[in-house]
Amino acid sequence: MNLLTLQRTMAKVVMHPLTNSEHMSKHAPSGGTMAQHAAKFIKPNDRLTSFERLEIYNRQYWWRLMSSLAEDFPGLQAVLGNRRFEALCKDYLVARPSRSFTLRNLGLDLEPWLRKNPQWAGSKQAIALDMIRLEWADIEAFDAAAYEPLEPADVARSASGNLRLTLQPYVQLLKFRYPVDALVLEIKKFNNDTEFLSNTFRERRKRKQVSAVAKLKPKTIFLAVHRVDYSVYFRRMAGEEYGLLVAIRKGKTLGQAIDATFSKHCKTFAADLEQVTAWFQNWSNLGWFCAPPQKSAKAQKSEKRRSAKK
């Protein structure tokens, strides 16, 4: 068995799901018993059999990935409950095993996967999807790139209808049906509060909060998730503010973005203009606008070649 074959064989077994009792399966992925399969590439020692040595890696793989998803998606765990969340994670990891060098990307495909597998969320599908999007945005806002921000004065001086602005990559713009931002903050507060009498009491309080939110009539909520000094913040906004930022992110000029957001014949346009000015001042003060990142010489040459061919 060469090195590549050994690595693939080992990976296939390590990523094979554990049993309900959290032990390695007695059946090998390719058929036959796991004990016989393990003996082909794992040597026993004076304390452990080949099966037992392999089981250590199998269990550590699953325990680490499951704990990572629980750390990244405490809100989803509260929405679904511990047992359903654990079952969902197992099924998700079998369908979408980790392909990244970092656990940070483990939940990248969780939202599209749940849309295709709605049975795991049942009647809470809508609020579960909102929660996943918020908690993934939290991850993105925490460690996405940040470029040198434009000074508020620079934005004000250069403001014109043809101006194109660039939003910081870490600014996440979201639209929800349920107030999951308030819910996840409450859940984190419950998880961090050491004054509760017991875990049972804490879980009961979380279930009560989730049930209250799930019973609310769906209402569109616009939210920006961003960071300041390495801390992530949630900021609700009006629909027009959200629409303007989305248009800017799509590359529209300032004039196009405003026209797309506000009617030219709106009777309250003067008030709208005053509100837009206040928004821009706030965004600039938060450092949300930045200069576009400089393209490498190689990328610039590639663009020139493509332009020459047109």
Q: How far apart are CA 70 and CA 54, in angstroms?
A: 25
Residues 155-213 have pLDDT tens digits of: 666 666 677 889 999 999 999 999 999 999 988 887 776 555 566 677 777 788 888 88
Residue type at position 77: Q
Q: How far apart are alpha carbons 179 and 217 in whole angstroms?
A: 10
Order of strands across the sheet that contains 172-176? 172-176, 221-228, 231-237
CB 187 within 8 A of CB 206: yes
Number of neighbouring beta carbons within 10 Å of residue 184: 22
Domain ranges of the chain: 144-178+219-292
pLDDT score of 303: 54
Closest C-alpha to 131, from 202, 194, 223: 223
**pLDDT of amino acid 197:** 52
Q: Say how far apart CA 97 and CA 106 lie, in whole Å.
A: 8
User: Which CA distances in Å does 267 have to 62, 256, 260, 263, 274?
Assistant: 60, 19, 16, 9, 13
The SS3 of residue 109 is: coil
For the chain, residues with pLDDT lower than 50 are: 265
Strand partners, 290: 149, 166
CB 131 within 8 A of CB 79: yes
CB 210 within 8 A of CB 78: yes
H or E stretch at 278: helix 269-286
pLDDT at res. 144 = 95
pLDDT in tens, 66-83: 999 999 999 999 999 999
Burial, 144: exposed, middle or buried (Cβ in 10 Å; 0-12, 13-18, 19+)?
Answer: middle
Q: Which fold has domain 144-178+219-292?
A: Outer Surface Protein A; domain 3 (3.90.930)
The confidence score (pLDDT) of residue 181 equals 95
CB 145 within 8 A of CB 169: yes
Q: How far is CA 94 from CA 30, 91, 275, in A?
A: 15, 5, 49
Q: What is the pLDDT, as a whole number, of residue 177?
A: 94
Following DSSP, what letter does each residue of 196-213 receive, concatenated? SS-HHHHHHHHHHHHHHH
Question: In this structure, which amino acid lies at residue 46?
Answer: D
3-state secondary structure 130-143: HHHHHHHHHHHHHH
Alpha-carbon distance 142 to 232, whole Å?
6
Query: Which tokens hold the place of 251?
Result: 């590359």
Q: What is the pLDDT of residue 162?
A: 74
Nearest CA to 73 out of 134, 22, 30 is that of 134
pLDDT of residue 194: 56
How many Å separate Cα 188 from the centre of its chain?
16
Taking only the tens place, the pLDDT of each residue in 261-271 is 876 545 555 55
